[in-house]
Amino acid sequence: MQKNPYGQNYKGDNHTFRMFKDEGDELGSVPWNQKIFQNDTSYKCPTYIVQTPPCQGSCPSGHNIRGWLDIVRGIEKPPGDMSWQEYAFQRAADANPFPSIMGRVCPAPCEDGCNRNEVEDTVGINAVEQFIGDNAKKEGYKFKIEAKDTGKKVAIIGGGCGGLAAALELRKQGHSVTVFEKYEKLGGMMMYGIPDYRVPRDILQYEIERILATGIETKMNTKVGVDITVEALEKDYDAVLFAIGAMNGRSLPVPGGDAVNCVSGVAFLEAYNQGRLQHITGKVICIGGGDTSIDVVSVARRLGNIKNTADKDRPERIIFSDTAHDVVDTSKRLGADVLLTARSTIENMPAAQGEIDDANREGVEIQGQLQPIEVIQGKNNRATALRMIRLEEDGSTPIEGSEIEIECELIVSAIGQSVDSEGIDKSFFNERGFIDADRNYQVPDKPGFFVCGDVVRPHLLTTAIGQAGIVAQSIGDYLSGKEQHARPKVDVHYFDLMEKLAEWDLAPSDDYKLDGSPAEATDSANYAVHNYEDRSFVSIIPHTELFLGHFDKEERNVRSHKLVNVDNVLGNFDERLVGYNEEEAQKEAARCMSCGLCFECDNCVMYCPQDAVFKVKKDKSTLGRYVDTDYTKCIGCHICADVCPTGYIQMGLGSD
């Protein structure tokens, strides 16, 4: 054992001062630029630094995930007599006004980034979000509009998640908003592109109506470019936002791909979600590998197969027209023969693994490393079979002589999506049929025009919601004549300590009138927040900055899942997910490690050998100001930083 200058025993070599190590880590040397010890003085003392957690940094909508998890677990207290449930909803809805829906269908890139994965398993972020949203519906929580009317009007083209999220944010700024939607219902891909057993329509409708209740006007069954021109919108409104979804599918790009019974995945799902498509006929082959293809084959298995149907009732007749199937007697349905093919290996398919597992269990045949090369057509331009070739594991190299033909009655292409730009000036669109945008989501060289969502680049629903928040700020700046905000390196919804202090009437006083820079720093005056720095805008905290040894291994509270299999899939349109109850939500939220922000564990207070770190008095304390440091006692030993589980305490240079 060696002695450090302060008499504390620790293991390590002559270049190491760390008292503790994380499980699985070796005690590494201190970086050269931190080797500043001199006798019993380091000239470094604790600084409280908030950083963005990787869950939030991985979320396309920039959700303040740590924030609402801290509320659910009881660390962050709501102001006044507000319940924690409503406070958590407000925090979650700051970034995403569809918590119930996103909690169900988002593939959760946040969970992939979660630092808890370094201990045992990710936090069930989606499941807690679903609880927050479902409870908000149960309690009837609403959005509050407190801004005064600005007199400015904004037209939004498209009523999907991006358009509606932007509409809400613009209403919060006091602007008048009108949404133009070509369909008879709002919701975009949530309404027409995802099956109802994944997105319960009563919940979706509630979350949409909660947004509309803020005073948003809608023009339904109105297709911009056909029923009204973009030029008319430009004349009548102060700004125009393109939030057009990519609701057109791509046809199969092989000889014979124009067969009448070759349809796109989005067209198939739209016909189902509109209630028109109620059964299929014969074998179905879906080409894809992504989430849309999984939805197609899962719907096909549920709809079932009707033999000897009339020509007018063939699926493609329904999909390509406005007609609908008559109600079909369930007793006449048979299990559908459904094949899903992908170019990649099954292991590398882009669809979520859970969805792939469900499809397998429900009786869908899945084959990887297959590429269509020709649609075989019979009479009346109808496909009778699909010719395919096997690929090497790279998903692109054909295997010579491996061609096969698979007979089928319906071919569904789920290989990509495009935007319906009918009637809109082509100068808005690039060569790929989408609209370019700058970082503020302005349309280049088109003042007053903005864009968000799949019309920029088809991606996740949460991506469109994240872009909506940014573009609403940009539109607000444009309407007020301000310069556009320079977007930060880490562009998310941040924890704001000043807002939190103000919420609890603890904001720094204005006793100090700034006539220039103060001559010296302060750790006592009331006009400053002491020993604190916000790096959220530029820094995402990795697990290497945490003290992982603090966290016990806790089994994840996996959300319950109603299993559907071959025996009960036919006609089974019940929701599969079973949401958390309140106790389960709080228990799972407690697994969050609060990366980059204090979660009040008291380690720093207990382990400080000089009693330099102390708890802030209760009447002055709030989240982020739970502890402080007396610099007259601190000797810079680094122990508080070493034992801080969340990486909130870091050593900063002080003065002698």
pLDDT in tens, 481-510: 999 989 999 999 999 998 999 998 988 876
What pLDDT, on the 0 to 100 scale, is given for residue 9?
33
Checking if the pLDDT of 14 tops 50, the result is no
Percent pLDDT > 70 in the chain is 89
Mean pLDDT of 73-97: 96
Specify which residues 385 forms β-bridges with: 376, 407
User: Which pLDDT band, with edges at 50, 70 and 90, does 29 fall under?
Assistant: low
Among candidates 53, 215, 68, 92, which has minimal Cα distance to 469?
Answer: 92
Q: What is the pLDDT of residue 20?
A: 44
Contact 560, 578 (CB under 8 A): yes
At 37, the amino acid letter reads F
Mean pLDDT (the chain, rounded): 90
Q: What is the pLDDT of residues 614-652, one digit of tens each?
A: 999 999 999 999 999 988 898 888 899 999 999 999 987
Residue 38, φ and ψ in degrees, nearest 5: -140, 110
- pLDDT tens digits for 428-483? 999 999 999 999 999 999 999 999 999 999 999 999 999 999 999 999 999 999 99
DSSP state of 121: S
Collapsing DSSP to helix, strand or coil, 511 comes out as coil
Q: Give pLDDT tens digits for 533-566.
A: 999 999 999 999 999 999 999 999 999 999 999 9
The Cα diameter of the chain in Å comes to: 92
CATH superfamily of 153-247+419-480: FAD/NAD(P)-binding domain (3.50.50.60)
Are 266 and 273 contacting, i.e. CB atoms less than 8 angstroms apart? Answer: no
Q: In the predicted model, is pLDDT for residue 8 greater than 50?
A: no
The domain 249-416 belongs to what CATH superfamily? FAD/NAD(P)-binding domain (3.50.50.60)
Confidence check: pLDDT of 192 > 80:
yes
- Gap between the Cα atoms of 599 and 94, Å rounded: 22
Look at residues 254, 298, 261 and name the one whose alpha carbon lies nearest to residue 407. Answer: 261
Q: Looking at the chain, how many residues does it have?
A: 656
pLDDT at 512 over 70: no
pLDDT in tens, 88-121: 999 999 999 999 999 999 999 999 999 999 999 9
Which of the four pLDDT bands, split at 50, 70 and 90, describes residue 65?
very high
Could you please report the per-residue DSSP string of 298-336? HHHHHH-B-SS--GGGSHHHHHTSS--PPPPPGGG-B--
Q: Could you tell me the pTM of the whole model? A: 0.90
- Tens of pLDDT, residue by residue over 575-592, are 999 999 999 999 999 999
Instruction: Name the segment(s) of the chain with CATH classification 3.50.50.60.
Output: 153-247+419-480, 249-416
